[in-house]
Structure 1
Amino acid sequence: MKPSIPIKKPLLHLFQGDFDPQILTAYFEKIGFVDKPGVTLKCLKLLHALHPQAIPFENLSPLLGLPVSLEGKALWLKFVKEGRGGYCFEHNLMFGNVLKSLGFEARGLSARVFWEVGEDEVKPRDHMLLLVEAAGKRYIADVGFGGISLTAPLELNYIGIQKTSHESYRVTLEGDFYYLEILIKQKWRLMYRFTLEEQLLPDYDVVSWYLCTHEKSIFTRDLMVARCTSWGRYSLFNNRLSTYHLDGTSDKKFLSSVAQLKEVLEVVFLIDLPRHKELDRKLGTLLKEK
């Protein structure tokens, strides 16, 4: 029996591919990309490595009660012109728009996070990642997972360990779900679970609005900042600054003043701080060991 209402494919697409050469050139200068761009695996890998080194993960806007726009040109202005960073939706939407503008086939996916989540806690699907086609294969790309963001795309259907310049990962398929794990101190830890169902901008808008406005959202309560480097990673949670090296060593220290926090945000994380009347007061509330 045929359905009474014809089933139509959605006409909307997440990535419009409308970043013009001027926008792309400014983005390339921001992240330090000097190679010739092209729809190649080499280009995808280099862009994926450079993006999280130049543009930090940070949630200053939700922390200060500022609106977060997921529109492509707004993200470009925030990242490139304003010298800011953002969280997963912002990073991966920006990255996806860049890839689409270069000619890559890319779609947005959603994931349920298990990283640093209690055993009895159930999280919504509140993380975004990308599915990208390159060199005849499918890869997942994710430049917005905070302190353990990928620094290279991972082949979706590769069986076994995939090494990057930083950590090692593996992607496994069980039933309808893909699982992404990271190797930390010789132990595999689950990051998130996802499917290949394509998401559209309204799907992300709803979750992003919750994360940046709800009183129970960690993004409105705590400061979370991260940036990777060629030799390791930096991570800031409230006033706790952590430095991780590729050899497995790390060190942590607590910042004791608003001036220290602002200096670290500007110098270590490369953030041009927003001029907001509540910035100093809000940072001051984070000066406690957690």
Structure 2
Amino acid sequence: MSDSAPFTPDDLDAYFRRIGWDGQGGAPSADVATLKAVHLAHARAIPFENLDPVRGTAPSLAPADLIAKLVGSRRGGYCYEHNTLFAGVLEALGFGVTRLGARVVVGAERFEDRPRTHMALLVEIPGEQRPYLADVGFGAPGALLEPLPLTPDTEFRAVGRRHRLVHAPHRGPLELWVLETRAAGDRAPWQAQYAFTLEPFEHPDFEVINWHIATNPRSPFSSRPYAQRVTPDRHLLLDGALLTETRTDGTVTERELTRDAEVREVLAQDFGIDVPDDGTDLLP
């Protein structure tokens, strides 16, 4: 199977079993309902994690390797792995998919200060005028759980989360879109998550970005474990040794992990990740 080879029917069956989605009783179709259902099921079933970069390895983006790792084992991945896998599944189902490069701008004063290191997807649905922003690989509490219509200045609420897309001024011929999220309560400020244009990025672009993020010693993903897991009632985030649980009612609890063995146990039991036993210390 080459990097551009489509997923086989067996691959799709294994993927749907992994995410616990049965096609709602029939063959999946390239429609809005299927896109939303598969997006949510993927987000809840396959964790976000960066254990390969922490172990000094750039993860493969080849379809066969993604199926083996994210589908065939108790592992997850980060954005390039999740969204490359998801894009291949959507294309096999008949959706049109454009890979996008985005700047993660959480906490940034200037969007231009952040490089385009995140991968998101623009999905075209047969018979629909508007494309959708899809993203099953954003490792943050502000991540999308369902895809978002590419419509500016409109709030969308889905699965307990609130998002909107806005335009922002910038230099360049293409419009700059910004994904924003809002905490519970109408007085909470909108918070920018990432910014992107609709310029298509290709597989070789993400191969280069993936290698850089996985191997650069200044990358946040090469120096400490980072994992995320979403369930219907809570969001779990492991950042280094800090474990944060956010319940759907907004309750937040934090716990500092002190031993490498404790981190491995939490990853296995709470995140559903089998940590490779190669002697690598996960905590710095």
Describe the superposition over 1:219-277 as per-residue Cα deviations: whole angstroms up to 9, x where unpaired: 11121100111112110001111111122111111112222211110111111111312
Query: Are residues 1:143 and 2:145 paired?
Result: no
Query: Are residues 1:216 and 2:218 paired?
Result: yes
Q: Tell me how far apart the structure 1 counterparts of residues 111 and 105 of structure 2 sit (CA, whole Å).
A: 11
Q: Which has the larger radius of gyration?
A: 1
Q: Secondary structure at the match of 2:131?
A: strand
Q: 2:82 aligns with which of 91, 97, 101?
A: 91
Q: 2:160 corresponds to which letter in structure 1?
A: H
Match of residue 237 from structure 1? 239
Whether the 8 Å contact between 1:243 and 1:252 is mirrored in structure 2 is yes
TM-score by length of 2: 0.90
Q: 2:95 aligns with which of 101, 104, 109?
A: 104
- Tell me how many residue pairs correspond in the alignment: 269
Whether the 8 Å contact between 1:89 and 1:204 is mirrored in structure 2 is yes
Q: Secondary structure at the match of 2:99?
A: strand
Q: Secondary structure at the match of 1:152?
A: coil
Q: Tell me how far apart the structure 1 counterparts of residues 20 and 257 of structure 2 sit (CA, whole Å).
A: 30
Whether the 8 Å contact between 1:241 and 1:254 is mirrored in structure 2 is yes
TM-score by length of 1: 0.88
Match of residue 172 from structure 2? none
Match of residue 165 from structure 1? 159
Superposition pairs of residues 1-290 of structure 1, within 5 angstroms = 16=4, 18-35=6-23, 36=26, 37-117=28-108, 122-134=113-125, 135-136=127-128, 137-148=130-141, 149-174=143-168, 176-185=175-184, 186-278=188-280, 282-285=281-284
Q: 1:115 corresponds to which letter in structure 2?
A: V
Q: Tell me how far apart the structure 1 counterparts of residues 4 and 214 of structure 2 sit (CA, whole Å).
A: 25
Gaps of 5+ in 2: 170-174
Q: Secondary structure at the match of 1:190?
A: strand
Let me know the Cα RMSD of the aligned residues: 1.9
Describe the superposition over 1:114-172 as per-residue Cα deviations: whole angstroms up to 9, x where unpaired: 11446698221000100001250210001111123210000002541011103100001
Describe the superposition over 1:20-67 as per-residue Cα deviations: whole angstroms up to 9, x where unpaired: 110000010000001231111111101110112111111100001023
Whether the 8 Å contact between 2:240 and 2:283 is mirrored in structure 1 is no
Whether the 8 Å contact between 1:151 and 1:166 is mirrored in structure 2 is no
Q: Secondary structure at the match of 2:198?
A: coil
Q: Once the two structures are aligned, what percentage of the paired residues are identical?
A: 36
Q: 2:241 corresponds to which letter in structure 1?
A: N
Whether the 8 Å contact between 1:107 and 1:131 is mirrored in structure 2 is yes
